[in-house]
Amino acid sequence: MNATGLTIAVPRGALMGGTLDLLDGLGVDTAEVRANDRKLLFEEAGIVTVRPSDVPTYVEHGAADIGVTGKDVLLESPEREVYELLDLGYGRCDMVVARRSGDDAIGESLRRLGRARIATKYTRIAAAHFAATGRQVELVAVKGAVELAPLTGMVDGIVDLTATGRTLAENGLEVVESIVTCTARLIANPVAHKLKAAEIDAVVARLREEAR
């Protein structure tokens, strides 16, 4: 077990580096995790590494006491029974609506057909956004590179997560609406939050102090 006394779910990918730096600051030895990008479970360090979208699942079912994932993941999976404890501030991205540059296909479809077709990996976030703004859309779930969908004419626009907008621009797309800004969040298992309250409170207090 690590210095926190907790098992921690660490997201692989873009948030991993920032999360390991955060754990270093808490006195957790992350050297083995950094040295082995194929291994998933690090028992001595009290770390399990999973996809960001799987972090809430592992935390909810008690495989980890706490974990780090993006706000986008939490918004897309509200059924997960986890406590969101802290905005960690790093991994900032924006959930946006984008379309082909200079082409108002979304507006034209809404005016002509009464609904637009939108491709996204984030169907719940997209559905909630368009419903809140009184627009009807047909959502097309895409798992891979969503930028391709409007370029082929399959959809009028997309909802996607972007850090810099560079990939959108390189594919001839432009942002037309911002939905929500997403950052890394600390989450906890509800049972662990009660049984290991002192340990979790200590971690939260340390992180808040460092953020000042």
Fold of 8-91+183-211: D-Maltodextrin-Binding Protein; domain 2 (3.40.190)
User: Do 23 and 30 form a contact (C-beta atoms < 8 A)?
Assistant: yes
Average pLDDT across the chain, whole number: 96
- What tokens appear for 64 in the block? 């980890």
The yes or no reply on domain 93-182 and CATH 3.40.190.10 is yes
Question: Which residue bears the tokens 């008690």?
Answer: 62
Where in the sequence of the chain do the CATH 3.40.190.10 domains occur? 8-91+183-211, 93-182
Statement: the pTM of the whole predicted model exceeds 0.95 = no
Bridge partners, residue 159, by sequence: 97, 120
For 137-166, write each residue's pLDDT tens digit.
Answer: 999 999 989 999 999 999 999 999 999 999
User: Do 173 and 98 form a contact (C-beta atoms < 8 A)?
Assistant: yes
For 49-62, write each residue's pLDDT tens digit.
Answer: 999 999 999 999 99
- Calpha distance 104→157 (Å, rounded): 9
